[in-house]
């Protein structure tokens, strides 16, 4: 759904921007190529109506895409360069932390982020996605609904510490927060249940531009 929405927005831009329409776009996907990851690749190709797919050193993936994509999509298999090694999970996690740190502190520490308290009552926190209920637990005649994009309210607590949150530009939960743009990101550095506030690290001074926050599973510890 989010990929389809992104494709719609891109098509709208192409309608009013000739350069974007002529140049098209390059979709850089992640390395998750099995199960749901593969289905996401096929869906992205369909939503954006791609005409060329480049597969890097994954012959099995190449053959599967050749089989499942329309005949007019040109699928190309490229070997990886000599000396290239697969990045380890720890290395990728370290790179991700470096990018998050750079978001707040800038390249070589040229930015000065702001730390301030936010009252629990001033914001609404949600997470995207709810646990799937087994079919055996559903009432008779009820079907399983898609919970992947369901908004679930989150009660502020100490388990929020070090979590990254995005600040949604939506004005209400009914505005489809999961498809709305984000104004920026903050990270929770502390929670005070007694005072009912949590401390955040933000790239801009208080107050937050909006009061709808989306919590992620990604954690960032500001240790450097």
The pLDDT value recorded for residue 223 is: 73
The pLDDT value recorded for residue 141 is: 57
Dihedral through CA 10, CA 31, CA 69, CA 58, nearest 10? Answer: 140
pLDDT digits (tens, 9 = 90+) for 127-177: 987 666 666 665 665 555 556 778 889 999 999 999 999 999 998 877 778
pLDDT digits (tens, 9 = 90+) for 193-219: 999 999 999 999 999 999 999 999 999
Dihedral through CA 36, CA 40, CA 41, CA 45, nearest 10? Answer: 150
pLDDT digits (tens, 9 = 90+) for 178-189: 788 899 999 999
Beta partners for residue 152, in sequence order:
127
Structural domains in the chain? 1-78 (no CATH), 90-219 (2.40.30.330)
pLDDT digits (tens, 9 = 90+) for 102-114: 999 998 889 999 9
Dihedral through CA 111, CA 187, CA 37, CA 51, nearest 10? Answer: -40
The pLDDT value recorded for residue 133 is: 63
Q: Nearest Cα to 186, choosing from 153, 149, 161?
A: 161
The pLDDT value recorded for residue 146 is: 59
- Percent of the chain at pLDDT > 90 equals 67
Q: Which two tokens stand for residue 167?
A: 């600040």
């Amino acid at each position: 759904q989010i990929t389809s929405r992104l494709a719609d927005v891109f098509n709208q831009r192409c309608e009013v921007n000739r350069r974007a329409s002529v140049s098209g776009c390059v979709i850089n996907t992640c390395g998750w190529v099995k199960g749901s990851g593969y289905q996401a690749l096929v869906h992205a190709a369909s939503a954006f109506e791609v005409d060329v797919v480049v597969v890097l050193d994954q012959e099995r993936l190449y053959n599967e895409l050749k089989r499942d994509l329309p005949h007019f999509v040109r699928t190309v298999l490229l070997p990886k360069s000599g000396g290239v090694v697969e990045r380890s999970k720890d290395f990728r996690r370290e790179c991700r932390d470096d990018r998050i740190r750079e978001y707040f502190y800038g390249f070589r520490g040229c930015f000065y982020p702001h730390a301030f308290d936010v009252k629990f009552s001033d914001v609404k926190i949600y997470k995207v996605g709810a646990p799937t209920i087994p079919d055996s637990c559903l009432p008779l005649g009820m079907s399983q609904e898609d919970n992947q994009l369901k908004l679930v309210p989150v009660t502020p607590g100490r388990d929020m510490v070090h979590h990254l949150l995005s600040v949604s530009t939506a004005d209400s939960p009914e505005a489809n927060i999961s498809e709305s743009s984000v104004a920026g990101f903050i990270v929770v550095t502390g929670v005070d249940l007694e005072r009912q506030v949590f401390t955040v690290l933000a790239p801009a001074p208080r107050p937050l531009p909006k009061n709808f926050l989306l919590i992620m599973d990604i954690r960032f510890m500001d240790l450097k």
